[in-house]
Structure 1
């Protein structure tokens, strides 16, 4: 009688490596890895160029008291804010410090929400009607503000706290379809009609109303507020060091238009130059039934081909040439039809090189590091053919770990294309530092993918017959 041999399993091949922290470029071609230190020491990247504004003219919408308090809040921050434990001091914002520009906040650019208008909104019993009435009032205020014969670069909306609490979100049903709306997203979509970037500043943030939640450190608030402001008025806070010119990075997400059940659209964020800047595009609609087709949406071969063709045509119109290389980042796996559509569009377009990369947060596999700190940001490892990268973790430049949770690596779930695994990961690390909505050291996802998800929330509020603004600044 023959003996039964025990099952033999081959241990997966393990490997690991570490990628140094990418550098950023500031004024005078100076380099640093930390956006806050680079701005404080050297000034923003576009300083001394035609993109840099010497003066930024700010308009306000809110109650009389709210607008005065907001103007004082901005004015106080321009002098600088001391840091604290783990917080870098904000240098201020004047011609000789910080973002090296002066704020102009003339009362002629104040547009008040009156007490009568507040009571009118609050007395509406229907939640939906209340929400819509507030948007109608805001549309009128935006019209009046943008029609003034004064220069205007940026609009700050200070929602009255009692109105905000009543209108922050809206949930209702139409024909048994659940609809969720958010005041911030709706206001951003509304303001696009007037071609002015906006900022929502809460009365709790400026100290006009006691906050029930713990606010960020004042220096962090200042950094994030002014970094966003500078980019929204066409300035470039910093640019990446090491992105290959003529590479087009594309982030793809999906969203459901308001009131839709089985209709999806693709939200595309396209970063198309060595500065990491790009455009927002709204892709075509397609049918998706999660009960029949699965929870993770994907494009048909035809739709994938159509979407990428649209992106490449926009790139050509902006740059007067095609990209030499295209990288697509997506949070779901590339299905065979989807992959075929993308690859066919790339091959017939004349693009020389391309990479299709699927990224997702993985909680299944982690590195364990000796000592009290988690793995380093930039740590990378492979388990067999599966590749992982820590975009969060212990940061030596900061001397700590700035997040409160155990870091999870990104899994490179798919990679089809020409670049090496190392190049793909270095680019991902660099693109996690390109979020101009904050001055944080880095984020967890590359900006094209991260922003495509955020953009989709606002695209839902834009009517299908209205072309969305293509610039990032209107979605921030």
Structure 2
């Protein structure tokens, strides 16, 4: 067994580099300030009951200014002051709201919906109510995104409280139960996707109860960064790239089931460049392999899905990569490998790596109170490697988690790059999460986005045309 420590990957911002998104934005501005043709105003449509709209406007006003970090903390780098969202600091932009682009929902309509005893019907009516207001703004007003405030009265009736990723260690192979009840967030995003305006849902309690959950500065960092990413059609930061190396694209191949978990699974491709820009592509239904009980593509399906993703990528980003890295959370079948190879060859790509990223029950321990460091890589063989993407972080001076961190197993199936390079990229891609500015994400964006996209996709019919931007799913 060999041990290798991967230093925290650097990110590129407007004026310089840093490995922390918060410090990078605050000190060096968002990445797209490098470009002349960029927007500086974000028009926010709002949907909610009257008092919630007032709370959101007050919160947006608060976010314009500096917000100090958590008081008396022992980890000042983990709890960073918010620089403020305005034209003179890191984001170099401002939010614009107005009654002209706000739709106020009547409390009477909310009360009528809550009288419905059947929960699925209740949620369906709630989705339709919000969808109608979203549709009006999207079709009649000029906005960049729409923020929907979930009222307090929806809690435990329409929106069921669930543990968040921060509260419990998430697993890719966690058992999925049939989604017999309609999920309000997923159904709303799916039903309004055709309108072409990203949604941001925020629950009323996060606006009215500052003592619950994250501290105010952290909440502002995550909220404003998510809005910026969704509205600006750009990225606040990107991976640092060695200009002497060929252009790379990263592809995640995954599958999602219908809501009842009984129907045939459908394939999905997520393809990203080094900036984090990318496209989402829905494939075709696949069969479950009788031997390993896993979904697999036929060679033609693998060929068509990857080649279609590469064509969409080239059209959307106006570039063709010289190297392709393909991530899957399940093993590759012989047919899949054949199809992927042919697609890569026909696309004129000269170098590729096929990688499996899986959960593992293997754990390592170190002396003292803290788990292994994020970036710890243990090579069990030439093709099997254990990588800690979550763990102790020297910069934070702690392990920012509640549970023993579980590492990932990185299996190199076919590869032109070294295992060290492949694992370094996995660690770097774990930082491409614009919903969370804490940089120690567990999964690379290629894998992390799969579940989020699949959750929304299962609410779309075959006739519905999915959006290709990740902003519509996060």
For residues 180-329 of structure 1, the aligned pairs below 5 Å read 180-207=181-208, 214-234=212-232, 235-242=234-241, 244-259=245-260, 261-271=262-272, 273-288=273-288, 292-320=290-318, 322-329=320-327
Name the counterpart of 1:3.
Answer: none
Q: 2-side partners of 1:455 and 1:221: how far apart?
A: 23
Equivalent residue for 1:52? 38
Q: Which residue of 1 aligns with 2:117?
A: 125
CA distance in 2, matches of 1:198, 1:420: 40
Aligned to 1:367: 364
Would the alpha carbon gap of residues 53 and 316 (structure 1) be closer, same or farther in structure 2, given more than 3 Å must change?
closer
Alignment match, 1:7? none
- Once residues 34 and 178 of structure 1 are traced to their aligned partners in structure 2, the CA distance between those partners, rounded to angstroms, is 37
Match of 2:105 in 1: 113
Stretches of structure 2 lacking an aligned partner (at least 5 in a row): 162-177
Cα deviation, residue 403, structure 1: 1.4
Unaligned runs of 5+ in 1: 1-13, 171-176
- Please say if residues 327 and 354 of structure 1, whose CA atoms lie closer than 8 Å, have aligned partners that are also in contact: yes
Q: Which moved more, 1:342-351 or 1:465-474?
A: 342-351
Identify which of 451, 455, 458 aligns with 1:457: 455
Q: Residues 444 and 405 from structure 1, CA distance in 2 versus in 1: closer, same or farther, beyond 3 angstroms?
A: same
Q: Distance in 2 between matches of 1:169 and 1:50?
A: 44
User: CA contact under 8 A between 1:121 and 1:163: conserved in structure 2?
Assistant: no
Structure-2 change in CA distance of 1:368 and 1:119 (3 Å): closer
User: CA offsets per residue over residues 99-147 of structure 1, 9 Å max, x none?
Assistant: 1212111112221111221122112222222122112112210122224
Which of the numbers 142, 154, 176 marks the counterpart of 2:134?
Answer: 142
Q: How big is the shift at 1:21?
A: 1.1
Deviation at 1:320, TM superposition (A): 4.7
**Are 2:279 and 2:313, in contact at CA under 8 Å, matched by a contact in 1?**
no
Residues 132-178 of structure 1: CA distance to partner in whole angstroms, max 9, x if unpaired? Answer: 211211221012222444x31121101222134322269xxxxxx86
Task: Give TM-score scaled by structure 1 length.
Answer: 0.89
Inter-CA distance 229–327: structure 2 relative to 1 (3 Å threshold): same
- Structure of greater Rg: 1
Q: Secondary structure at the match of 1:328?
A: strand
Distance of aligned partners of 1:100 and 1:220 in 2 relative to their CA distance in 1, 3 Å threshold: same
Q: Does 1:383 align with 2:345?
A: no
Counterparts of 1:424-443 in structure 2, within 5 Å, are: 424-443=422-441
Return 80-89 or 417-426, whichever deviates more: 80-89
Q: Distance in 1 between matches of 2:93 and 2:240?
A: 25
Shift of 1:236: 2.1
Q: Deviations over 1:423-461 (max 9, x none)?
A: 101111111111112111131111111112211111111
Distance 2:317 2:34 in 1: 23
Distance 1:455 1:313 in 2: 20
Classify 1:323/1:201 alpha carbon distance in 2 versus 1 (closer, same or farther; 3 Å).
same
